[in-house]
Each structure stands twice: as C-alpha cells, then as structure tokens.
Amino acid sequence: MTATLLTQGTFFFPGPTEVRAEVLAAMTRPLIAHRGKAFEALFASIQASLKPIFRTTRPVYVSSSSATGLMEAAVRCAPEGRVLSIVNGAFSARFSAIVKACGRESDVLEVPYGEIATLDQVSDALGKQRYAAVTVVHSETSTGALQDVRGITRLARDAGAVCLVDSVTGIGGVQLEFDEWELDFALTGSQKALALPPGLAFAAATPAFIESARGTARRGLYFDLVEFDAYGAKNQTPNTPAINLFYAAELQLAAIAAEGMAARWARHRRMAEMTWAWVDGLRATYGDAFGVLAREGSRTPTVTSITIPPAFAASTLVKAVADRGFTIGNGYGKNRETTFRIGHMGDHTPERLAKCLEVCGEVIGGLV
C-alpha cells in the first residue's frame, strides 16, 4: 500500500494516465453475472455519471475495448458513402486508416502536425465532393492541438454529412457539449482524461445516427452501435463486459461528476497554462528550439507536446526524468524523438505538476 501511495502524482504519461489507488482497488470486487439485476444497477449507475460528463441526455454506450474499437464502430455505422478525414496528427491519421480498412472511399484533408484544420479549409474540402461522414480528432494527443469540433460538425451538417468526433483526450478534460453543440457522434477511452485503467471506451450518438445505422450494410457485429443502443436500453451490453473495469468506472465516473465539469475543465486549463509558461521559461533561458508544438489559441489543456533542440533525443530526456521518479512521454509517431509530451490530465493536481516540471527543468539544465 505504501509503495502505491508514494507513486501517486508522478505518472504524467499522456495515456494511460495515473489511476488512483482506490479506483484500482475497486477492480478486486468479486464477479457478478452480466445478465442479472446487480449488473443492471451497476450499468445504470455508470450511465448516471456518464451523461453529465458527455453533457447529454442520450445513453452513453460502454464498450469493452480500447478507444480504437469505437472509432471503428463510428466508421462502420456511419451512413454509407464517401468519408472525409481531417488529419493533423497520429490519431487522426489512425481514424483515416480505419476508414480505409473498413473499405470506405475516402479523402484526406491533411494539415501539418501541430496545427488544426481551419473552418475555411474544412468548408472548402466539403464543397469539392459529396460526403456521408467526416472524421475528426478533438484533442490530438500526438501533438497537443485542439480542433473546433462544434464548428466542424456544423459545416458537416450543412453539407449533408455526419461528423464522427474522437475526443479521447478531450471529454473529461476540456469542454465538449454533446447536446448543446448538436454533435452526431463522440467517443472517448477510459485511460486518458477520465483516469481509469485502459480497456473501456464510451460513446454517444444521436437517435438519427442510430436510425441511419440500421440501414448501413456490413456494420459487423462486435462494434454494431445498433446493438449497443438496444442492450443499453435494458442497462445491459451486447456481450460479456469487462465487469471489473465497470467497478472501477462506477467509482471514478461518480467522482468526476461530483467534481463538476466546469471545475474539472478549469483545473486542466490551469495545469496546461502552467506547462506553457514553463516552456516559455525554457525558451527564454535555452533558446527558440524549445517551444509548445501547437499554436496558441488551438492548444488542448490535457497534453502538451514540447519541441526540443535537434541535439537532444526525447528518449534520453524521458529516461533521465524517469530516473528521478516521474514518468513523461516521448513524442508520438513522426515526432517521436523531436518532441516530448507531458500528460497533465485526469486526476493530476497543479501542485504535483509543478514538481514534475521542476524535475524536467533540472534534467534539461543538465543536458543543454
């Protein structure tokens, strides 16, 4: 127990993120049958917390898979036709790869990693072709860029398409209003801003999206949202769910709902601003090679990707920081060695983040 407590507030990896000991412990409860009253009560309790987190009155589907599973569900269940994928990082590139792997005709609107697609760019792309769906990543975990998914959903709707939103490092850490923004589909995973162990994914869809899915051929079986919707209405899941993860989710999602979304978003915002100010300090001291990869005004508050001098290797930095008790992340994909990432999301506090940044600063001071 002592060892567990000592490590709290040190794991600033951008996913999976740190999980509180109490939440981990909840998973050791004995199993229950998934077609019984006790499970239905557990499912209903999770729903009661997920709705305020997604800001919706719709049911929130719970998939025993990682988030990629529900990305695939979104594509498989989207209206038939051509798909436009907005790509500005490794996870949005994965969304596009899923579209292709599912046999959909598609086009890619790609912008440099670290940037976002502007609404003008999206509008232009939507004007060139008739699209059935658009894929977009809200908070690009590989670069730290934040897209305007509300604006993009509106443009998609005006062009007759649905918008599939991956908000894996968004929901629970940055504002996303499923109902008020009139989103069509949004998903997240358990192991990022929700600070749960990996293995569950959550999504909401409009009634119109589910209605239209009924008419889509080759939806497959495991990720058929029509099935999730039908079973969810009975507080059940289509297949045997990861019951122990549901125990953890019940505890943690209730804690998130109790913190309140506005307070949670503000805490993330505070941690992000601390990190950006710290990077400004590095820049002032050690030069322009240090910087926040994403542009001011389109940065996610949950993860920051930091550029480093060409003489640095991110892996050396990450390892030296680990030797001093803190876990941060390498860059991701093509930015693997040229950036490092700090995941300031989930249940982390500004106080512990300050410690982590202090250690990172000392290590960088020793390397430059």
The contact pattern for ligand PLP, residues 71-110, with x = CB under 6 A and - = no contact, is: --------------------x-------------------
How far apart CA 145 and CA 303 sit, in angstroms, is 9
Tokens of 92: 């949005």
CA torsion sign, 155 to 158 to 163 to 165?
A: positive
Tokens of 67: 């988030």
Burial of 45 from C-beta contacts in 10 A (0-12 / 13-18 / 19+) = middle
59 in contact with ligand PLP (CB under 6 A)? no
47 in contact with ligand PLP (CB under 6 A)? no
Nearer to ligand PLP, 106 or 147 (CB): 147
Minimal distance, residue 165 CB to ligand PLP, in Å: 10
169 in contact with ligand PLP (CB under 6 A)? yes
- Taking CB under 6 A as the binding criterion, the range among 65-73, 103-111, 246-254, 274-282 that sits at the site for ligand PLP is 65-73
* Count of residues engaged in binding ligand PLP, rule: CB under 6 A: 12
Provide, for the chain, the percentages of residues in helix, strand and coil under a 3-state DSSP scheme, each rounded to the nearest 5.
45, 15, 40
166 in contact with ligand PLP (CB under 6 A)? yes
Taking only Cα atoms into account, the Rg of the chain, rounded to an integer number of angstroms, comes to 20
348 in contact with ligand PLP (CB under 6 A)? no
Among 50, 75, 136, 168, binds ligand PLP (CB under 6 A): 168
How far apart CA 291 and CA 279 sit, in angstroms, is 6
Minimal distance, residue 147 CB to ligand PLP, in Å: 11
Residue 136: CB atoms within 10 A of its CB come to 27
Q: Looking at the DSSP assignment, which residues form a beta bridge with residue 304?
A: 342
Closest CA to 169 of 356, 320, 7, 301: 301
Minimal distance, residue 82 CB to ligand PLP, in Å: 22
Nearer to ligand PLP, 168 or 294 (CB): 168
- CB burial string 285-318: b at 16+ within 10 A, e below: eeeeebbbbbeeebbbbbbbbbbbeeebbbeebb
Among 189, 329, 331, 343, binds ligand PLP (CB under 6 A): 189
Minimal distance, residue 330 CB to ligand PLP, in Å: 14
15 in contact with ligand PLP (CB under 6 A)? yes
Nearer to ligand PLP, 138 or 364 (CB): 138
Minimal distance, residue 15 CB to ligand PLP, in Å: 5
Q: Which residues bind ligand PLP (CB under 6 A)?
A: 15, 66-68, 91, 137, 141, 166, 168-169, 189, 192
